[in-house]
Amino acid sequence: MTQVTQSDLLIIGGGSMGLAAADHLAARGVGSVQVLDAHDPPHDQGAHHGETRLIRLAYGEGSGYVALAQRAWAGWQRLERESGEALLLPTGVLNLGPASAPFLRQVAASARDYALPLEQLDGPGVARRWPGWRGGAAALSEAHVGAFESRAGVLRVARIIACWRQRLARSTGVTLATGARVVALEALPAGGYVAHCADGRRFGARRVLAACGQHLAGLLQPLGVTLPLTRVRKTFAWYDADARYHRERFPGFSLTDDELGIYYGFPDIDNAGFKIGRHDAGQPLAAGERLLPFGEHPADISELAQVIARYLPGVGALRHGAVCQYIRTPDEHFLIDEPLPGLVIAGGFSGHGFKFASVMGEVLGEWLACGKRAPELAAFGLARFSIPSEENA
């Protein structure tokens, strides 16, 4: 049998959270850290591809995220300074939708509770401020509200992953093994774990962080831990657009439409095109199931085209589309816990996790190394999904 490669700490999954945690641990110099990834990051098999992500502080998903978002913003700025790379574009983010939308109400509440800058506009005011939006009763009317965050913007995902890879390559304490697809995680009687890879390699450590996306639930099931995670196929696409959508003239955005759904988008950055995707809906998939390429599902093009036709008069021909995946919890909040001694899990980021990766690297790295959970992570535990027994109901 293949010898077990031992390290002090083991990270399964070299995506955004795994690499961020490894980067933090490398800076801390905590000992030997082994990172395993089934592919060779950056790649399109996880949740970190697509070039760009929005970062927002007045958080519509809940005010409990705001403190983490603020720390994440500072973390991205620090990574920029240390690396000399432009990783964060302060384009601002416009949150747009009907005044009754819970998301918009929560954005306003988060800004109020944390004294964050937030400019409120009505629909016609949005169209005047950013002519790329179509005004009038057919699109943005007085029934709509816009909440503009000036301290928000766009993260350059591919650059960030490449930056972490470069930093880890210079580290003496962290080793990244690529092509290391973990097919089983064995809990040892005396404590610690051994990860078994499909190619026969084995890696052991006393403490493990599992942040392996679609494979997380299946990896923990044999250990008696059931995770309420589902995998969903998502799409996004880039389009030709006129000068109104250049990054100097148009912010990133989220859009809620009661009829069409929930969408997000980006200005044209470096002539890459105008980018838009749908946040809700999607097609459920089993772990490991093939992602149909963009255009092979009937709704891929039409669900984006309908929003463009209604709201975005200067967006033109489709350039190209892509597919990705969300790993969702039932409430679409994160799932971060230590369900077994020495085994920390991080998953269920539900399409809005990458912006937090800079701070998640810090808090997950500290949890892994020291066994201390940051207070900000308390709400993301597995216990919230427990179903009370009849006798305790």
Cβ(26)–Cβ(226) under 8 Å? no
CA–CA dist 241, 298 (Å, integer): 24
CA distances (Å), origin 179, targets 3, 37, 39, 195, 318: 18, 6, 5, 14, 34
Catalytic residue among 201, 207, 234, 279: 279
Q: Start-end ranges of CATH 3.30.9.10 in the chain? A: 77-156+230-328
Q: What type of residue sits at position 105?
A: R
Q: Where are the alpha helices (DSSP H) in 207-356?
A: 216-220, 299-311
DSSP 125: H
Tally: H helices and E strands in the chain: 8, 22
Catalytic residue among 24, 48, 52, 144: 52
**Residue in 43, 48, 98, 53 with CA at minimum distance from that of residue 277:** 53
Catalytic residue among 28, 39, 43, 49: 49
**Residue in 129, 349, 136, 159 with CA at minimum distance from that of residue 270:** 159
Please enumerate in sequence order all residues whose Cβ is within 8 A of that of 81, keeping only pairs 6 or more positions apart, or say none: none
CA–CA dist 262, 95 (Å, integer): 11
Catalytic residue among 324, 328, 333, 373: 324
Catalytic residue among 53, 207, 278, 328: 53
Burial 84-116 (b: 16+ CB within 10 A, else e): eeebbbebbbbbbbeeebebbebbbbbbeebeb
- 279 a catalytic residue: yes
* pLDDT at residue number 136: 85
Strand partners, 5: 203
CA dihedral 331, 336, 339, 341 (to 10 degrees): -170
Annotation: CATH topology of 77-156+230-328: D-Amino Acid Oxidase; Chain A, domain 2 (3.30.9)
Distance of CA 329 to the CA centre of its chain: 13
Catalytic residue among 144, 275, 352, 373: 275
- 105 a catalytic residue: no
CA–CA dist 183, 369 (Å, integer): 24
- 372 a catalytic residue: no
Annotation: CATH topology of 4-48+158-228+331-386: FAD/NAD(P)-binding domain (3.50.50)
Strand partners, 335: 347
- 52 a catalytic residue: yes
Helices 66-83, 157-169: crossing angle, 10 deg rounding: 60
Distance of CA 29 to the CA centre of its chain: 27
* pLDDT at residue number 390: 41
- 151 a catalytic residue: no
Q: Where are the alpha helices (DSSP H) in the chain?
A: 16-28, 66-83, 102-113, 123-129, 157-169, 216-220, 299-311, 357-370
Strand partners, 207: 9
CA–CA dist 335, 327 (Å, integer): 10
- pLDDT of the chain, 393 residues: tens digit per residue: 679 999 999 999 999 999 999 999 999 998 999 999 988 777 666 666 678 999 999 999 999 999 999 999 999 999 999 999 999 999 999 999 999 999 999 999 999 999 999 999 999 999 999 999 998 888 999 999 999 999 999 999 999 999 999 999 999 999 999 999 999 999 999 999 999 999 999 999 999 999 999 999 999 999 999 999 999 999 999 999 999 999 999 999 999 999 999 999 999 999 999 999 999 999 999 988 999 999 999 999 999 999 999 999 999 999 999 999 999 999 999 999 999 999 999 999 988 999 999 999 999 999 999 999 999 999 999 999 984 434 333
- 249 a catalytic residue: no
Both tokens of residue 187? Answer: 């809990």
Q: Start-end ranges of CATH 3.50.50.60 in the chain? A: 4-48+158-228+331-386
- 53 a catalytic residue: yes
Q: Are strands 9-12 and 4-6 parallel, antiparallel or unpaired?
A: unpaired
Please enumerate in sequence order all residues whose Cβ is within 8 A of that of 41, keeping only pairs 6 or more positions apart, or say none: 14, 15, 19, 48, 161, 165, 178
